[in-house]
Structure 1
Amino acid sequence: MQTYTIKRYHKDDYALWNSFIDNSKNGTFLFHRDFMEYHSDRFQDFSLLIYDEKKLIAVFPSNVKDEKVYSHQGLTYGGLVLGNSIGGEKIRNILLDLVYFLRSQKISNLYIKSIPIFYHQKPSNEYTFFLSDTGAELYHKDLNLAIDYSIPASIHKSKLKHYEKRKDIGFQIEEVDNLTNFWNEVLTPRLSKKHNTKPVHTLEEIQLLKKKFPESIIQFVISLDNKILAGITIFKTRDVVKSQYGAITDQGEKHRALDFLFISLIHRYREEGYKFFDMGTVTDNNFGLLKQKEELGCEIYMQDFYRLDL
């Protein structure tokens, strides 16, 4: 016997869904339908709305593939997005009902990647705690590096020394609306050369997303003598700024331009009153990248991944 009503997302739910995300206690603009659907050709949506009678109390952004449901694979984090006033007992019952619903839909497995704690407007760890009641197992962890602005800055003294030395060499830091130069001249060549990969977002996709979320997606570049040396793409939520992409040219490396830009933005967003600066995850024991982010003042947080066999 289900306690709550669960239904698949339909385009008619667009306004209701987005309003709920805006007023939830752990949602961000990544769960807005305009963000989720920019790559709808690559993911079969299986997003769910959970109702207590007629009141929407939670949503689950997700996709389905081969009878498996995932916290949306096109997003950095996911899981249950919860209403502001919901309590622990309700969350436990939502999870139990979610399992019942997925089984009725012939789903074989559920995969959840958690929302890092610093994105929560209010602490929202209840659902990961109660996942154990459904039989879910923690099968993977990622290291998430972020700066907590509530504690004193801890940027490594060598990085600060180089930063101070370069303040007067003529760097120009700009916020730009057009991402073409950074994408084509810096980011894409850098990822190809260093990692034999491409940006997750194509230029066309990121331009579209920036058009839809102009206050949330910000592009910074740093130049010297009108030549772009590096850039950082910022995803900005209510309390957190995230460096979604950061890349540098060979010439920029000689001038330590990316560190200079990072430190400038770290100072800027501290002064603007943000709570965290998220520098993303470190995987595959990449200790060089880990050290680089720690020297910029990051501490280690965990992002947990859960699997439930249905």
Structure 2
Amino acid sequence: MKNYTVKLYQETDYEKWNDFIGQAKNATFLFHRDFMEYHKDRFEDFSLLVYDNEKLVSVLPANKVNDVVYSHQGLTYGGLVYLKKIKGTEVELILDAFFSFLRQNEIKTFYYKPIPAFYLPDGNSEVDFFIFKRGALLEKKEMNLAINMSVSLDISKSKLKHFRRIQEMDLDIIEEEDFKPFWELVLEPRLSEKHNAKPVHNCIEITLLKQNFPNNIKQFSVYYEDEIIAGITIFETDAVVKSQYGATTRKGEELRALDFLFINLIQKYKEEGKLFFDMGIVGDDNEKGYNLGLLKQKEELGCSVYNQDFYKIIL
């Protein structure tokens, strides 16, 4: 039986961690330390590394609040990260090594949010099975809307009708390096007006992340008569493209500019061979637990519902 050793991440592990993420079976650029640490002042990092003798075999992006450890709260998804050659029985032993380390450090509860399955063509459900067998509770389930790009697109007739009409107008789609126009003139005002909220990333943070991950983070904006009226911020991985932010001005709403941009991007990334277009969850604090309008809008753009699960493990 293998004897795994678990260690807490230190700054000296920076290169080792990132090299591992680049080789892992089930990682995206969100697990790179340069992404995880853009907001490190907000979280007490408790990321872990697992060794088989001297060889790094697994990592866990995580943070700690008192005696509770979270599959990192600053990331959309997380989970146990390991190499493709690691088999199910080894994943089980690695997970037990993690749990043993957490108990030794007087951690009482662990919250786990695996990466949605459609991000990983090679599969990634071993941990879900093993944590269930160890008493994990399904604390929350969200509907994650995504388009399977390997099959024919199923955009609603009404969306396509408006799309063809809008195509005749003088709308320009621009891939921008500068996030300020979208952030300051569209995204922040609309979030404030409609939800009294702010984007998770401020303009400085998203600009820094773009500099660190120029091939993964992209901004597409729609202009009409030289005025920005809509935009979508894309997070792109090898297999999946995610609309991280999407917003429109009132003028853009009248012209259906956001749908126009979405349909163009869906077609663009399908042609480029992406497997899924992820439009995120539709959760809401209302009694239904989801936003009916968002669900309808995303389904009309061709999305289907996939699970995003959140687990709680009492240690």
| TM-score band w.r.t. shorter chain | over 0.9
1:227 and 1:294 map into 2 onto residues whose CA distance is 29
SS in 1 for 2:122: coil
Ranges of 4+ aligned residues in structure 1 off by more than 6 Å: none
- What are the residue-to-residue correspondences of 1:107-256 with 2, within 5 Å? 107-256=107-256
Q: Which residue of 2 aligns with 1:83?
A: 83
TM-aligned CA distance change 1:2 to 1:306, over 3 Å: farther
How much has 1:121 moved relative to structure 2?
4.6
Worse overlay, 1-10 or 276-285 = 1-10
Post-superposition offset of 1:96:
1.3
Gap runs ≥5 in structure 1:
none
Secondary structure, aligned partner of 1:12: helix
CA–CA distance in structure 2, aligned partners of residues 165 and 105 of structure 1: 61
User: Any conservation in 1 of the 2:3–2:53 contact (CA below 8 Å)?
Assistant: no
Deviation string, structure 1 residues 142-191 (Cα, Å, up to 9, x no partner): 11000001111000000000001111211100000000010000000000
Counterparts of 2:203 and 2:121, CA distance in 1:
31
2:301 paired with 1:296: yes
Deviates more, 1:27-36 or 1:279-288: 279-288
3-state SS, counterpart of residue 166 of structure 1: helix
Checking the alignment, whether the CA contact within 8 Å between 1:47 and 1:60 is kept in structure 2 is: yes
Residue 36 of structure 1 corresponds to: 36
How far apart are the structure 2 equivalents of 1:11 and 1:124?
A: 28
TM-score normalised to structure 2 length: 0.97
Q: Which amino acid aligns with 1:41?
A: D
State the AA in 1 paired with 2:300.
E
How far does residue 54 in structure 1 lie from its aligned partner after superposition? 1.6
Q: How far, CA to CA, are the matches of 1:134 and 1:45 in structure 2?
A: 25
Aligned length: 310
1:308 lines up with 2:308 in the alignment: no
Structure 2 residue runs of 5 or longer lacking an equivalent are 285-289
Q: 1-side partners of 2:77 and 2:215: how far apart?
A: 20
Q: 1:302 corresponds to which letter in structure 2?
A: N
TM-aligned CA deviation for residue 246 of structure 1:
0.1
Secondary structure at the aligned position of 1:274 is classed as: coil
Opposite residue 162 of structure 1, the aligned amino acid is: H
Q: Post-superposition shift, 1:19?
A: 1.2
Give 1:16-55 correspondences, 5 Å limit: 16-55=16-55
Q: CA RMSD in A?
A: 1.1
Q: Note if contact 1:26-1:121 (Cα within 8 Å) is conserved in structure 2.
A: no
By how many angstroms is 1:2 displaced? 8.3
